A = this chain, B = another copy of it.
Amino acid sequence: MTTSGTADEPMALAAERLRTAGMRVTAPRMAVLMAVSDSGGHLDADTLRERAQRITGRLSLQATYNVLRALTDAGLVRSTQIAGHPTRYETERHDNHHHFVCRACGSIRDVECAVGAAPCMEPRLPEEYDTQEAAVTFWGLCPGCRAAAPVS
């Protein structure tokens, strides 16, 4: 099981993606990229390291941070910082979606940008400001925690 077969395909794909991005293809990078890809997103560095380790064996946390930085810079991965949580990573889909964060359990859910081309992208600011991006974070209770909450 080295060059073909079902198990190796995701890895070959990861390698291809790295190569296309002009990056060196290394085991840690493939492993982390795979971990981010098949996770459904929103995992922190330590969790990703753990998952990547299952794929590639030993992997330092520092390397995980290095790889995530490199992947983010290359546009393959998107990082999101949520107040009170460590940085989360997900596959970059270039759709500028937002996030809903449950105040009770901390779970994160993607939220499509409400009105197509982002109404939030046009702040009431003087002309001289160069607004490049709008990050919206919705806070509240997810269905599960809402049901379990004392008052509603």
**Hey, which bits of chain A sit against chain B, CB under 8 A?**
81, 83-84, 98, 100, 103, 109, 111-112, 114-115, 119-120, 122-126, 128-143, 146, 152
Main secondary structure of the interface of A (DSSP, over half): mixed
In the complex the two chains form, is A100's CB within 8 Å of B129's CB? Answer: yes
**A111-B123, A115-B119, A119-B120 known; A128 vs B143 contact (CB < 8 Å):** yes
A129-B114 in contact given A120-B119, A123-B98, A136-B136 (Cβ < 8 Å):
no
Pair A109/B81 contact, Cβ less than 8 Å: no
- Contact A139-B132, Cβ < 8 Å, known A111-B124, A123-B98: yes
Which residues of chain B have C-beta atoms less than 8 A from A128's C-beta? 142-143, 146
